[in-house]
Amino acid sequence: MRKKFKVVLFFGGLSAEHEVSCRSAAAVYKNLKKNKFEIASIYINKAGRWTIVPSPLQSLNDLNQNHFYSFLPWAEESSPQLPQGDIYFPVLHGPFGEDGTIQGFLEMADVPFVGAGVLGSAAGMDKGFAKILFQAQGLPVAKHKVFLEQNWEEKKVEILTDITNSFKPPFFVKPANMGSSVGITKVKNNESIEAAITDAFRYDRKILVEEAILGREFECSVLGNDHPEASLPGEIIPYREFYDYSDKYIDGKTDFIIPAKIPPALVSEIQRLSVEAFEAAECSGMARVDFFLQSGTQNLFVNEINTIPGFTEISMYPKLWEVSGLPFPRLLERLIELGLERHQKKKRKVEHEDTVY
Ligand SMILES: Nc1ncnc2c1ncn2[C@@H]1O[C@H](COP(=O)(O)OP(=O)(O)O)[C@@H](O)[C@H]1O
Ligand SMILES: [Mg+2]
């Protein structure tokens, strides 16, 4: 019998999106065809320590009963070998997973992995930096300003004046490196700016103040390496004021319209911008690109790019591919192929250079 292809999943992680990652990994596990793949699962706890588990289908409580180890090769305790795989799949959302950190670890080990490399992951995670790349590519982004914590501490009054001169409420205040709407406030009057800024600085030392684009919200899935393709877009209709943390994970009352009911010209425009955003951020494998469509002007704005989008059974990324003709199990196989392809191409380059010198 042919040896099965071994996929190693990383899930959990240090970020505020720990639980979402566990749910994403469970869906990935279920949708990987067991006749083709052997799966090893590595759970990373909230302290960043790891353990090998039978699968991501266990409860959080059971997962945390294990003995945990440090990733450091020189850690004092003897840690078991990480399982060897034919490919590694970080199913981690947010900082310490989606931001290039684990990707760097896997690059160092010279093993193939699913998704964006170090640069694309880091650029996509930082909302301020991603916007610089989008603007350089000529993509439309909302008017925004970036502020650093050290400047805020030193020049509160100047910064508050700058913000009130530049933005009229409502506007958004958000940490640069986060996800799941954590630390995000829609500021409706100038009296609440300071509280919004203080809250955003709890999560990051860099924050964005951003004009509110009132209208509709769309998301589009991108898949590929050198010739990325975009899925049909989906629409999000938040239940609350905006698509906040409770709307995402607690109430679950958000409406998802998959695919979005929009004219073909808007579909093509979203797809074109999604591919350009993917390329601008130097992504590979996968990403979900999120948009605002401003009511009145009907102008589209790229909001953000997520290099490890939600992967639960009801998440936009796999759902959008499903309605675009690529079922979840096939999508995972495609992502694995793309990860292998990227690693092969990178390797060939290095070998070529070796022969030159
Ligand atoms: N500039 C904006 N205009 C309108 N709504 C916004 C804006 N920025 C954020 N939002 C709302 O907040 C949600 C979360 O913000 P987002 O920037 O996507 O961060 P996250 O990475 O946490 O998803 C969005 O889905 C949207 O509903
Ligand atoms: Mg978002």
Q: Is the model's pLDDT at 101 over the cut of 90?
A: yes
DSSP state for residue 250 in the 8-state scheme: T
Tokens found for residue 300: 């589209």
Residue 81 has pLDDT above 60, yes or no: yes
Closest atom of ligand 1 relative to the 213 alpha carbon: 3
Closest residue by Cα to atom 10, ligand 1, is 242
CA atoms within 13 A on the CB side of 75: 13
d(CA 1, CA 354): 37
pTM assigned to the model? 0.94
pLDDT band of residue 73 (cuts 50, 70, 90) is confident
Element (H, E) at 7: strand 5-12
Q: Which residue has the higher pLDDT, 75 or 47?
A: 47
What is the Å distance from ligand 2's center to 290 Cα? 7
Strands of 82-199, DSSP E: 87-91, 144-148, 171-175, 185-187
3-state secondary structure of 133: helix
Q: Which pLDDT tens digit goes with each residue over 265-274?
A: 999 999 999 9
The number of the ligand nearest the C-alpha atom of 247 reads: 1
The closest of 212, 210, 198 to 163, measured between CA atoms, is 210
Ligand 1 pocket test: pick from 178, 181, 206, 241 the residue with the most ligand atoms within 8 Å of its Cβ.
181
pLDDT of 250: 67
Is the Cβ–Cβ distance between 145 and 166 less than 8 Å? yes
Strand partners, 290: 219, 304
How far apart CA 164 and CA 147 sit, in angstroms, is 14
The answer on pLDDT for 254 being more than 90 is: no
Ligand 1: residue whose CA is nearest its atom 24: 243
What digits encode the pLDDT tens for the residues 310-355? 999 889 999 999 999 999 999 999 999 999 999 999 877 766 565 5
Cα of 181 vs centre of ligand 1, distance in Å, is: 7
Residue identifier of the C-alpha nearest atom 22 of ligand 1: 181
Check whether 249 has a pLDDT greater than 70: no
Alpha carbon 54 to chain centroid, angstroms: 25
Q: Which ligand is nearest to the CA of 124?
A: 1
For ligand 1, the distance from its centroid to the CA atom of residue 135, given in whole angstroms, is 18
**Least confident range of 3-12, 174-183, 265-274, 319-328:** 174-183
Q: Which ligand is located closest to the Cα atom of residue 95?
A: 1
Q: State the number of CA atoms in the 13 A half-sphere of 261 facing the CB.
A: 4
- What is the C-alpha separation between 112 and 130, in angstroms, rounded? 25
Pairing of strands 87-91, 185-187: unpaired
Maximum separation of any 2 CA atoms in the chain, in Å: 71
User: 357: CA distance to ligand 2 center in Å?
Assistant: 46
The token duo for 190 is: 């100038």
Pocket of ligand 1 (CB under 6 A): 142, 172, 174, 178-181, 184, 210-213, 217, 238, 242-243, 290, 292, 303-304
